[in-house]
Amino acid sequence: MTTQTATKVQGSWLDARALLGFGIAVGLGVLVAAFPVVGLEGIAVCLFLYGISRWARGRMEIWQVLVLLALTPYIILNYGFDNFAVGFNFPLGELLMFMGLGLAILSTPRGFLRNLLRDPVIVCLFALLLLSCAHLIVDVPRYGFYAIRDSSVFVEAIFLIAGLVWAQSSRNIRLFAYWMFCVLLVNLVYTYTFPWNERIQAVSPSSGIFHPVPLFGNYEQNGVFLVAGVLFCVWLAPSLVQWSRWVLLGLAVAQLGGLAILQLRSMYVGIVLLLALLLFLGETKKMAGVAYALAWGMGGVLALLLAVTSLGIKLQGRMGPVDLSFIQEHAATVLALGDSNTRMSHDVDRGDWYGEVWDRVRSSPSNMAVGEGFGQALIDFENEQGIPVRQPHNTSLTVLARLGFVGLSIWLLFLGLLATRYVKFLRLRTTSPAISALVLWLLMYSVLAFMFTSVQPEFEFSHGAIPFFFMQGLAIGIMRNSSSRFDARPLAI
């Protein structure tokens, strides 16, 4: 063996990548041995992120990688990732998003950004941000970081700009669609771990700014993306992957099965609302496709519940056992919410919370006009863990309490302008079918997300607000540029 060959062999034993890979493998092995469920979930997340980084090489800019690395765990891990902090207790997700947004702005022509500031939708969001900043000047010295946390729903609206920049090329749009499909699949698998959520939380690493929160085992908004996943599998997935239509239909049915485990009544109503909206928009073919998937899904869910009940399998859902009994209970609460005999305890709690917030709003003329600002809890309530609940589980009511009728008017104007733009774009039908389908999907997701905020404080937390505003920016960018910038090719990888 020559000296040169010996040197190469010796160098191979000291290869940094090999040592790093060996160390990661040993660490993951120890994690799985000590905490099997969390270890396996950790491996799944690592493989997903590694796959994104490998696939993104040469396809994405650095700012896009940062944005996806934040959005992915926001959607899947939601509340757990909200509280995953680094350094001086700064949320990792917001750090990645702000870094990504900064790089995106630096790489964007100034003329494009100046034109954005003339858009009425963007003007509304900046008006809310300015009103919030005026409150924060007074509230931060009085209440500290709590004031900043309460204002996040308005501050994080700035990430709408990242979505607008993303929408500047058809290649980026196809990239987003493919990434979204992968996220929806991981979200589906993660949702089916809900019956073991207490065990998962018990062994999960925890982090938090105000109090420790498990990274894994939180499912606050996964139901929104389950319903959105049904639509995606029916409308967009056939253009992205060469899979059998029966496989995609099976995935759509599986999303509905996951919804049966999470037991979110707002999403049951949301499905009906989506069908009505599709009829209003004249999307009869797409409505028929969704109805077909729902028919299979209802049959599959009923068969699953029948099997679980007959075999005596104990699966715990969010609101109770996953069996035939929960269908009757949820139907009663959805169809007769006004009847106190059929309302669940948290429905009564929400009624009390709304009364508390309204009392705060009308307590002074300044509160009525511009709100009480940030830093104080809006309701007097503690959850089962003894942690104070600060928001009334209705985002529009939160906006009214924090920014008064002035802020609420701007917020409703923003939503109205956004809805009008969606409807006008979809009715014109001047772009490719694939782009229209994506914009329609973004509208359906927006409706589901906003409906969820009527019963949960989702926009008051980063896992709800950041994906929502990013996707609104993406939709606005597509609708602004589609007539002149996008080609007519279908979404493809």
**Per-residue confidence band for 242, with pLDDT thresholds at 50, 70 and 90:** confident
Angle at 470 between CA 98 and CA 113, to 5 degrees: 70
Among 137-141, 291-295, 312-316, top mean pLDDT goes to 137-141
CB atoms within 10 A of CB 424: 10
Calculate what percentage of the chain has a pLDDT beyond 70. Answer: 74
- Tell whether the model's pLDDT for residue 202 goes beyond 70: yes
User: CB within 8 A of 287, min separation 6: which ones?
Assistant: 275, 278, 279
- What is the C-alpha separation between 117 and 129, in angstroms, rounded? 13
Determine if the pTM surpasses 0.95. no
* Separation between Cα atoms, residue 267 and residue 319, nearest integer Å: 14
Does 185 or 24 have the greater pLDDT score?
A: 185
For the four alpha carbons of 348, 351, 353 and 356, in that order, the dihedral sign comes to negative
Which stretch of DSSP H or E encloses residue 207? strand 206-207
Look up residue 225 and give its two tokens: 């993306």
Nearest CA to 223 out of 452, 483, 446 is that of 452
Model pLDDT, residue 115: 80
| pLDDT value at residue 85 | 78
Residue 35: band (very low, low, confident or very high) from pLDDT cuts 50, 70, 90: low
Average model confidence (pLDDT) across the chain: 81
Residue 318, both tokens: 């969010």
341 has a pLDDT exceeding 60: no
Q: What is the pLDDT of residue 331?
A: 58
